[in-house]
Amino acid sequence: MTKLSVSLPDDLVQDLRAVAHDNVSAFVTAAVRHELDRRRLSAFVDELADELGPVDEAEVARYSKLFASTAAVTPEPKTASR
């Protein structure tokens, strides 16, 4: 495990602490992992577009609507208090 120091705007830190409570490191780790995955996926889509041609925007809209109708947001589990 590597310890890292970062600078963040005060308002972002306030929001982060309100959401992450006592586990800021885990929250930041998940956020960084998510952003890296998003960027890798974007690079992959760009590679596919280079190889196969541009996307069909009508198909993108169709599948985006389909995905949105099936995606469920699950709340983060709460820890039991003692």
Q: What is the secondary structure of 24-47 as a DSSP string?
A: HHHHHHHHHHHHHHHHHHHHHHHH
Token code pair at residue 74: 């699950």
Instruction: For the chain, give every domain's residue range.
Output: 18-70
- Name the more confident of 72 and 22: 22
Mean pLDDT of 6-27: 95
Mean pLDDT of 31-35: 97
What residues contact 8, with CB distance under 8 A and at least 6 apart?
A: 16
Can you give the pLDDT at residue 55? 85
Is pLDDT at 47 greater than 60 in this prediction? Answer: yes
Can you give the pLDDT at residue 71? 74
What residues contact 16, with CB distance under 8 A and at least 6 apart?
A: 8, 24, 27, 28
Is pLDDT at 82 greater than 90 in this prediction? Answer: no
Can you give the pLDDT at residue 70? 84
CA distance 13 to 18: 8
